[in-house]
Structure 1
Amino acid sequence: MVYERIKQQMMDTLPLVRTLGIRIDDIGNGTSKVSMPDDPKLHNHLGTPHAGALFTLAETASGAAMAGGFADLILGLRPVAKESRIQYHKVAHGATRAEGRVPGDLAALKAELKQQGKVAFPVEVDIFDAVGTLAAQVQVDWYLSEKRS
């Protein structure tokens, strides 16, 4: 399936994601589920997941959701994360997971891409800890353009 191919391509081309032990668990049509193990090498001074590791988890989830939403076109596109914002709500404990989603109308975004050759849109991500506490929320603004020959 195309989503499995996207997962494999992302894991093959994102060495930091592999280094952190992040796993892309699921990609759907504009959605994703991504997880990161609890590893002391990824902890901060409090013994909890480091903010940088959590951010990378969220950015990975955003990219997977974006790619899933444009699965039929992604090989011909150049995706760039343009801007990101993160709000920390609670200290995360243990393994973490992130759920990403493209909140907009995918058909309208694809129509804009077809018409203008580029499109920009946000992807929202929720980060949960091992017991399901909402630890942070992230928005990554993606910019997609057609690859130049």
Structure 2
Amino acid sequence: MSAGELLAATVPMVKTLGLEFIETTAERAVVRMPDQSDYHNHIGGPHAGAMFTLAESASGAIVIAAFGDQLSRAVPLAVRAEIDYKKLAMGEVTATATLGRPVADVVAQLDAGERPEFPVRISIRRADEALTGEMTVVWTLRPNS
């Protein structure tokens, strides 16, 4: 099961928004949200909350892809997030996530008995490639008790 399939099966909001996982690797996650009038804001584009969920879902996909082999000993958790809305989003939007730290460094911290934190950076673009938002989600791997 891919990271995208896992998220679609376990996170109800993914299904609710109809998110499509285009690519999910340890290097990059790409998630598309189709244009859906039920999730529009007052000016006809995707609601800010839907865009946040899209970007956060892309960050979760890359975390699962990069650290899925650590799930038996640690649980990934979002610690904090910051989003900047840059330009009006209209139509379908796509979020692309990248890890801000090498996987090996994060795992080494976990191996040392620490609770690592690492950023995931996400860009949100319209179909015409215009940048509509940027988000950073800081994740941790909380060791199991």
TM-score of the superposed pair, with normalisation by structure 1: 0.91
- Which residues of structure 2 form unaligned runs of 5+? none
Answer yes or no: is the 8 Å Cα contact 2:122–2:136 preserved in 1: yes
Change (3 A) 1:105 1:96: same
In 1, the alpha carbon distance for the partners of 2:14 and 2:29 equals: 15
Cα distance in structure 2, aligned partners of 1:41 and 1:78: 33
The yes-or-no answer on 1:134 pairing with 2:131 is yes
1:104 Cα deviation from its structure 2 partner: 1.2
* Aligned-partner SS, 1:132: coil
User: Which runs of no fewer than 5 residues in structure 1 stay unpaired?
Assistant: none
The residue that corresponds to 1:27 in the other structure is 24
| Matched pairs, number | 145
Ranges of 4+ aligned residues in structure 1 off by more than 6 Å:
none
Alignment identity in percent? 34
Alpha-carbon spacing, 1:11–1:76, altered in 2? closer, same or farther (3 Å): farther
5 Å-filtered alignment, 1:4-23, equals 4-23=1-20
Contact 2:3 2:62 in 1 (8 A): no
- The alignment's TM-score, normalised by the length of structure 2, stands at 0.94
Equivalent in 65, 68, 88 of residue 71 of structure 1 = 68
Instruction: Report 1:85-104 matches (<5 A).
Output: 85-104=82-101
Cα distance in 2 for partners of 1:100, 1:75 equals: 24
Q: What SS is found at the alignment partner of 1:137? A: strand
Mapping 1:47-86, distance limit 5 Å: 47-86=44-83
Q: 2:120 aligns with which of 123, 132, 141?
A: 123
3-state DSSP of counterpart to 1:90: coil
Greater shift in the superposed pair: 12-21 or 70-79: 70-79
Matched AA of 1:26: E
Deviation at 1:76, TM superposition (A): 3.5
| Per-residue deviation, 1:69 | 1.5
| Distance in 2 (alpha carbons) for counterparts of 1:24 and 1:76 | 26
